[in-house]
Structures are given as structure tokens and as C-alpha cells.
Amino acid sequence: MIYTREAEVLGMLNDKLGPSQKRDPSFSRANQAPMHLIKDLNPYQNKWTICARVTQKSAIKTWSKPNSQSRLFSVNLLDDSSEIRATVFTQQVDMFYPILEVSKVYYVSNAQVKMARQQFSNLSNQYELTFDAGTVVEQCADPTGVPQDYFDFISISSLTRFQKGSVDI
């Protein structure tokens, strides 16, 4: 629970922020960054937090190079504005893989926002997240308002622009 004076200050701050930047009083991280929608993220922002549902989680993939061995997994994160892919590499795999569960809602902050590598993603977002040692993930106490699914409807005539197998009908 947040101290009463802190909750009061948070309430006054929320009154001055836009709807996509409001802070959730149940979010317990001491140094909160402003809340943003996924569609508003870009590589030029330093301080942001999103509240998103995990819609997909891959298995851990391992690959070897002559000098090292690496691992990764990815998750798709959804809010009411868009969906974004997040990838977790090497040391952070052990930290985040057991925490992130499909259908649960989390606050995520301090991940790197990069241009998306479309060959590894089935999402249309131009950016993707990379979790690093500074990334903070906390489960959301009140997941109401975060949708279960995201649909991007298109006309049948525009299907020719997409690769075979990349669109659900």
C-alpha cells in the first residue's frame, strides 16, 4: 500500500498528466516513470512504463558460437493501443522466463526500444523491446482494462501485400 501523502501527491500528478501518462497507485516501484501506451514508445524515450498483457511466450532457444553459448526467448506484450515484441537474452533469461506468464498483466520499464527486426516478428510494430539488466517487470495488481487480444483488420483486396501464412483469415 502507498503511504497516504504519497497517494495524494500521485493523485495530483495524475490530474496534470495526459491519459497515456497517468501513474497507477498500485504500482509499487519507488521511482515510477510515466505510464505510456505501447504505440507511443520510441527509441528516443528514456523513462517510460507500460502496462501490458503477455499474449505469447516462446520457448528458450539456445545457440552456440565458437567462443560462447547464448540463449533467448521472446514475449508479445499487448495494451489497448498496440502489441510489441520483447526479447530477452543470455543472463536475463533465468531472471525473466519464470516470471512472465501468458495472459498475465505486467508493468514493464527500462527496456531498450529498438527498430524491429521484422524477420523475427509476426507483429506490425516498427519497434521492439530488449530486456537488459536494468529492466524492471512487476505483475499488475489490477489487470482490468488491458485487452486479451488485438486485431488489425484489413480489406480482402489488400491481402496480396502479405506473405503466405503471415495473415489469419
Cβ-defined contacts of 152-156 (< 8 Å, 24+) = 152/124
Examine the pLDDT at 23 and tell me if it is beyond 70.
Answer: no
Mean pLDDT, to the nearest integer, of 80-84?
90
Q: How does the average pLDDT of the chain come out, rounded?
A: 78
Q: Alpha-carbon distance 100 to 86, whole Å?
A: 11
Q: What is the pLDDT of residue 143?
A: 65
Stated pTM of the model: 0.70
Reference 94, options 70, 125, 126; nearest CA is 70
The amino acid at residue 156 is I
DSSP lists the bridge partners of residue 72 as 61, 89
How distant, in Å, are the alpha carbons of 68, 69, 88, 112 from that of 75?
Answer: 24, 21, 8, 14
Q: What is the pLDDT of residue 13?
A: 42
